Amino acid sequence: MTSRFGHSQHPRRGRSARARAGRREGVQSNFPATQVLERSAHSLPARQRTALVMAGGTGGHIFPGLALAEALRERGWQVHWLGTPGSMEERLVPPRGFAFEAIDFSGVRGKGLKTLLALPLRLARACLQARAVVRRLQPDVVIGLGGYVTFPGGIAARLARKPLLLHEQNSVPGMANKLLSRLATRVYTAFPNVLPDAQWVGNPMRRAFTRQPRPERRLAGREGPLRLLVVGGSLGAKALNDIVPQALAWIHEQDRPIVTHQSGESQIEALRRSYAAAGVEATLTPFIEDTAAAFAEADLVLCRAGASTVTEIAAVGAAAVFVPFPHAVDDHQTTNAQYLVKVGGGWLVQQADLTAHGLAEMLQNMKRQDLLAKAQKARTMRKINATRDIVAACERLAR
């Protein structure tokens, strides 16, 4: 006779049946049950942990996200990326071997009243799309690094009760991270005193930036023309493209720096024309493959003041003239640059004050001893363990 659950009501008969079943399966009938369970558990492959990284819009959000994604993958994680279709992140992320999950959402700043009025509906739709991604992937952790896509993704993560880690790259927090920081499991920042209850860890970056020789080793004994590196970023910097060739033309050819000028793909041809018109020779490139080595090779870097640029210059220890993008939200690039400038780790020139003649005079007055001092002071401000610290937090939360 059996119970309604189908088990024998006669204990002795039940044990005998189990023993016979055990022998048929090749298991000794007197083998302790706990050891069978332990052996079975050890034979099962470990479940692969999954992370969903959210970052988009600009390289300043995307490249720190890629540094984290690559570090997690090295630790055996499966990494997916939440972004928007037709975006920079969609161009950069899949070629690096990460699965790309697209939702339809974009910013409203500066896009007019009609776009602003449509925001609630668009946000609700984006949250539903992000929620579907989170439900399907069931990530162990969700990591937001800024950009508009982070907000609906972060909301979806918390609704699904998934650990949400945020990292703010800039010295002034973006809107998405500022709002989500109240809901996040962990909050990290690249600069000090940015968000309440956040841990200051620096910016995630590739190891190459942290492994360059110290400035005194790199720059000792250098002679001849200065090596000037101009960095316009992934989108280029038209003001630098216009002014730098003119400034170099003011300098006598024998005193002129050796110049490498990086600009965005969309501006590279116009940049070639600017240098040709100025009669100045330079190495022009739309992209620098090894930025860490380029920073280390340069005597002076002339650049914008995006968060990644500032923190990478500090990590390498390079002298820099920062020209903040004047239309950056909340003027955060000026605040980024001041992190190094206030300790003597660089120069700050506002774009409105940048002239060809003034820049030429500045370059002519540069002394190698001063450049070395700036590079050394910049390096004292570096924080290089952000990737390690955030990956460690992911692994703790995924246990």
Contacts of 206 (CB under 8 A, 6+ apart): 67, 70, 292
Structure tokens at 72: 């997690």
Contacts of 304 (CB under 8 A, 6+ apart): 231, 232, 233, 237, 240, 322, 323, 324, 325, 333
Whether residue 350 is annotated as binding a ligand: the answer is: no
Structure tokens at 135: 């439900």
Helices and strands of the chain, counted as H and E runs: 18, 13
Cβ proximity of 111 and 23 under 8 Å? no
Per the DSSP assignment, residues forming a β-bridge with 303 are 231, 322
- Rg of the chain over CA atoms, in angstroms? 28
Cβ proximity of 219 and 227 under 8 Å? no
CA distance 128 to 245: 50
Whether residue 206 is annotated as binding a ligand: the answer is: yes
Whether residue 58 is annotated as binding a ligand: the answer is: yes
CA distance 147 to 121: 19
Contacts of 32 (CB under 8 A, 6+ apart): none
User: What is the distance of C-alpha 203 from the center of its chain?
Assistant: 7
Whether residue 262 is annotated as binding a ligand: the answer is: no
Whether residue 60 is annotated as binding a ligand: the answer is: yes
- Give the helix/strand (H/E) hosting 53: strand 50-54
DSSP calls for 283-315: EEES--S-HHHHHHH-SEEEE---HHHHHHHHH
Closest CA relative to residue 215, chosen from 309, 92, 301: 301
Only one residue has tokens 């060739």, namely 245
Contacts of 229 (CB under 8 A, 6+ apart): 259, 260, 262, 294, 295, 297, 298, 300, 301, 302, 303
CA distance 156 to 162: 9
Running DSSP on this structure, what letter comes out for residue 224? S
Binding residues: 58-60, 170, 206, 234, 288, 333
Known binding site for UDP-N-acetyl-alpha-D-glucosamine: residues? 58-60, 170, 206, 234, 288, 333
